Amino acid sequence: MRPVTESNGSVAAEPMPVLVIRPSRGWRALGLRELWAYRELLWIFAWRDLKVRYRQTFLGAVWVMGQPLITMAIFTLIFNRVAHLRASGNVPYSVFVLSGLLLWNFFSASVAHAGNSLIGASYLISKVYFPRLAIPLAATIVDLVDLSVSAVLLAALMIWYRVLPGPEIVLFPVVVLAGAVLATGVGLWCAALNVEYRDVRVLIPFVLQLGMFATPVAYSVDVIPAKYRFLVLLNPMTGIIEAGRATLFGTPVAMEALLSAAIVSPLVLITGIYYYRRMERLFADLL
């Protein structure tokens, strides 16, 4: 209220204008320009997550390589020694499995970390404004670092078994980028849904565990019966893993799997960003 002098000399209070802030309606813009303006904050979030993940750990980066190594040994024992599964081409089974594990672990970890990232950052979201997309994207960047560290193990194993990559290996970063696109899209969907439905946090690891066996990580697509093979080829991670092995070992890759990955991955990312931006206006209230 502010004082106003009337014509008779008395003083009255004039009401101040009131600004009402309401959430926007409909679909929101992607906000990529704003995210670029806050790019330094994105790197700060990523560096913070890296320090938290490796600080006060006894094994540190060794565990990043040890986890896929132990899983590879178990898969080799069960699927290769007991079930007598073979890798495609002349690739040693251990190298074959590890190549698929690295890409799947990157996808799985990115989805899990991005899906739970908003819950862990609720204290920031409810107090400070910044592009909310930076939080799940930072989680994906950290998992890219983990993938780079664990790739050293794959390189050492390829040297041990004398598996030399061809010139196609220069395309391996493109395959990793495709995996990052898919993982980011799925992670954004999970993160937005997790804010509204907290059961999603429990479902994510369960679905990812089932997804590993529905993806040709420990086996080749060729061992799937022809009448069921289309189900595996519809999985976009099948095309990404098969393409990754093709760049590393020169093995053939099913074009149907590549087509599925090329269509589904950007579609999941675009729809994930739009849904995330639509739910973003409710994050502070729900968290």
pLDDT digits (tens, 9 = 90+) for 273-283: 999 888 887 77
User: Considering only 7-11, 61-65, 176-180, which range has the smallest mean pLDDT?
Assistant: 7-11
| Range 37-54 average pLDDT | 83
pLDDT band at 100 (very low <50, low <70, confident <90, very high): very high
Q: Is residue 84 part of a domain?
A: yes
Domain count for the chain, please give it. Answer: 1
Query: Would you tell me how many other CB atoms lie within 10 Å of the CB of residue 82?
Result: 9
The per-residue pLDDT for 104 is 96
Q: Which residue has the higher pLDDT, 128 or 92?
A: 92
| Range 42-61 average pLDDT | 75
- Let me know: does 49 contact 142? Beta carbons within 8 Å: yes
The per-residue pLDDT for 61 is 65
Dmax (CA) for the chain in angstroms is 102
SS (H, E, C) the chain: CEEEECCCCCEEEECCCCCCCCCCCCCCCCCHHHHHHCHHHHHHHHHHHHHHHHCCCCCCHHHHHHHHHHHHHHHHHHHHHHCCCCCCCCCCHHHHHHHHHHHHHHHHHHHHHHHCHHHHCHHHHCCCCCCCCHHHHHHHHHHHHHHHHHHHHHHHHHHHCCCCCCHHHHHHHHHHHHHHHHHHHHHHHHHHHHHHCCCHHHHHHHHHHHHHHCCCCCCCHHHCCCCCHHHHHCCHHHHHHHHHHHHHHCCCCCHHHHHHHHHHHHHHHHHHHHHHHHHHCCHHHHC
Q: Is residue 224 part of a domain?
A: yes
Distance of CA 78 to the CA centre of its chain: 28
The per-residue pLDDT for 28 is 53
Query: Would you tell me how many other CB atoms lie within 10 Å of the CB of residue 234?
Result: 13
The per-residue pLDDT for 29 is 56
Q: Is residue 268 part of a domain?
A: yes
Q: Is residue 23 part of a domain?
A: no
Sign of the dihedral through C-alpha 137, 140, 142, 145: negative
pLDDT band at 19 (very low <50, low <70, confident <90, very high): very low
Is residue 73 scored above 80 in pLDDT? yes
pLDDT tens-place string over residues 148-158: 988 999 999 99
The pTM assigned to this predicted structure is 0.85
Q: Is residue 15 part of a domain?
A: no
- Let me know: does 61 contact 149? Beta carbons within 8 Å: yes
- Let me know: does 242 contact 257? Beta carbons within 8 Å: yes
Q: Is residue 1 part of a domain?
A: no
Q: Is residue 136 part of a domain?
A: yes
Is residue 186 scored above 90 in pLDDT? yes
pLDDT band at 124 (very low <50, low <70, confident <90, very high): confident
Could you tell me what percent of the chain has a pLDDT over 90? Answer: 39
Q: Which domain holds residue 48?
A: 29-286
The per-residue pLDDT for 10 is 56
Which residues, at least 6 apart from 36, have a Cβ–Cβ distance to it below 8 Å? none
Q: What is the mean pLDDT of the chain?
A: 84
Q: Is residue 60 part of a domain?
A: yes
The per-residue pLDDT for 21 is 44
The per-residue pLDDT for 88 is 78
